[in-house]
């Protein structure tokens, strides 16, 4: 089975797009397996500071951002969250627990839904327990893993540790052909098709 690793963080809007793209890939290529690796954009103890407003913005013609172009290319509309960004470290640790239980895809479905559609604070243990319940995980073991920080070292922080690992953007799809980030679906689909075909044509040992 071809296995593809994807670097992500739930709180990243680009990763919200990446999750939707990934679900389309899994439908088109059912032999594909995805493994999601947490790269924490807002490490614990770091405060998020929005970029300063451009004082000349009202005088400039409206031009789409790269992200707006990606949304348009894939026909998507980003949900509007009603609360500030969350610290995602525990949620990403929970994803590692779900991976060991063979339920990472379902966990991330519920986690992204809670964060983006439900505007929930995924730094809140109660929210993560609810996600775990909806995923069908062992709640006692899940809560224990978060309490003991069992998977703490599996999550990589921005900026320097992530850059040292070769990750400069999330999501990054780590194809053997090339690592690609922030791409429209067509690019990912074409690369996935080649990846799956090459994997199926490569004899196993």
Give residues with Cβ within 8 angstroms of 75, minimum separation 6. Answer: none
Tell me, what's the pLDDT at 88? Answer: 96
CA distance 70 to 93: 29
User: Residue 93: its pLDDT value, please?
Assistant: 98
The answer to whether 172 and 57 have CB atoms below 8 angstroms apart is: no
Res 69: pLDDT = 96
Predicted confidence (pLDDT) at residue 46 exceeds the cutoff of 60: no
For residue range 160-188, list pLDDT tens digits in order.
999 999 999 999 999 999 999 999 999 99
Residue 98 has pLDDT above 80, yes or no: yes
pLDDT for residue 61: 81
Q: What is the pLDDT of residue 57?
A: 74
- CATH no. for residue 174? 3.40.30.10
Helix (H, G, I), strand (E, B) or coil at 173: strand
Asked, as a colleague might, if the bond just before 159 is cis with ω within 30 of 0, I would say: yes
Task: Indicate the pairing of strand 3-8 with strand 33-40.
Answer: parallel
Q: Can you give the pLDDT at residue 53?
A: 74
| Structural domain span for residue 35 | 3-49+56-201
Q: Please count the structural domains in the chain.
A: 1
* Residue 141 confidence (pLDDT) above 90: yes
Name which of 173, 179, 157 is nearest 17 in CA terms: 173
Kindly give the residue spans of alpha helices, DSSP state H, lying in 123-184. 125-135, 139-148, 160-164
For tokens 């319940």, the residue is 133
Q: How far is 189 from 24, CA to CA, in rounded Å?
A: 9
Return the higher-pLDDT residue of 200 and 157. 157
């Amino acid at each position: 089975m071809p296995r593809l690793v994807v670097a992500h963080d739930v709180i990243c809007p680009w990763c919200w797009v990446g999750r939707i793209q990934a679900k389309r890939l899994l439908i088109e290529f059912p032999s594909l397996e995805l493994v999601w690796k947490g790269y924490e954009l807002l490490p614990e103890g770091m405060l998020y500071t929005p970029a300063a407003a451009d004082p000349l913005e009202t005088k400039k013609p409206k031009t789409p951002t790269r992200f707006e172009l990606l949304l348009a290319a894939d026909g998507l509309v980003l949900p509007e969250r009603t609360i500030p960004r969350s610290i995602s470290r525990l949620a990403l640790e929970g994803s590692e627990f779900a991976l060991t239980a063979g339920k990472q895809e379902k966990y991330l479905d519920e986690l992204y839904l809670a964060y983006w559609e439900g505007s929930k604070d995924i730094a809140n243990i109660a929210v993560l327990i609810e996600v775990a319940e909806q995923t069908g995980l062992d709640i006692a073991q899940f809560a224990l893993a978060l309490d003991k920080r069992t998977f703490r070292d599996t999550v990589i922080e921005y900026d320097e540790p992530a850059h040292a690992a070769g990750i400069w953007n999330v999501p990054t799809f780590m194809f053997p052909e090339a690592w690609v980030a922030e791409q429209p679906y067509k690019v990912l689909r074409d690369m996935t098709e080649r990846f799956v075909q090459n994997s199926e044509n490569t004899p196993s040992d």
